[in-house]
């Protein structure tokens, strides 16, 4: 089991990696149908958003005033690493498969990962793990559906420009 600081950073980074990368991947795919654009988006998320999330965790942990500098940096590094590395895993299906299939595989991969994390978290917290899984996957599915329709809408409205 990870110490609290690493667990906070890892859980945040992994969750953010699933939600933001899936949202971006689905939206860009629906809006552009371009493998190049989707890969560029994933790389951008992996770098820029990983740094942003890591700084957010860093500032949040510092503002609590109850963590050592080492604990704050552990959370920061764990958040960055989890977000960066996990976001990069979504490139693999985009490189290897037709974009439509890659989106489906990515959704399955992201939901599976989020489901496993949520189940373990529910068990560790003594809650009904399936309730935690349902809640977290519902949010992820809402993000996927909304970003798909936003991407489709953008293509319809701005596609001829």
pTM of the model: 0.90
pLDDT tens track for 29-43? 999 999 999 999 999
Query: What confidence score (pLDDT) does residue 36 get?
Result: 96
- CB-CB contact of 79 with 9 (8 Å): yes
**Scanning the structure block, which residue is given the tokens 């490139």?**
91
DSSP letter at 140 equals H
Q: Of 115, 144, 145, whose CA–CA distance to 132 is shortest? A: 115
Residues 6+ apart with CB under 8 A from 67: 5, 61, 75
Ranges of residues in the chain whose predicted pLDDT is under 70: 1-2, 160-161
Give the pLDDT confidence of 128-148 residue by residue, as tens digits: 999 999 999 999 999 999 999
| pLDDT for the residue 5 | 84
Q: What is the structure's pLDDT at 1?
A: 55
Compute how many other C-beta atoms are within 10 angstroms of the C-beta atom of residue 35. 16
Are 123 and 3 in contact by the 8 Å Cβ rule? The answer is no
């Amino acid at each position: 089991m990870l110490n609290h600081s690493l667990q906070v950073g890892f859980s945040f980074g992994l969750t953010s990696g699933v939600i933001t990368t899936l949202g971006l991947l689905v939206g860009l795919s629906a809006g552009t149908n371009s493998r190049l654009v989707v890969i560029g988006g994933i790389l951008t998320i992996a770098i820029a958003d990983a740094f942003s999330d890591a700084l957010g965790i860093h500032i949040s942990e510092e503002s609590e005033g109850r963590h050592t500098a080492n604990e704050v940096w552990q959370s920061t590094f764990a958040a960055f690493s989890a977000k960066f590395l996990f976001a990069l895993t979504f490139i693999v299906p985009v490189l290897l498969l037709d974009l439509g299939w890659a989106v489906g595989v990515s959704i399955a991969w992201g939901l599976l990962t989020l489901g496993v994390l949520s189940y373990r978290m529910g068990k560790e917290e003594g809650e009904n793990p399936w309730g935690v899984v349902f809640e977290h996957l519902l949010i992820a599915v809402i993000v996927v559906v909304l970003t798909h329709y936003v991407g489709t809408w953008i293509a319809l409205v701005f596609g001829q420009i």
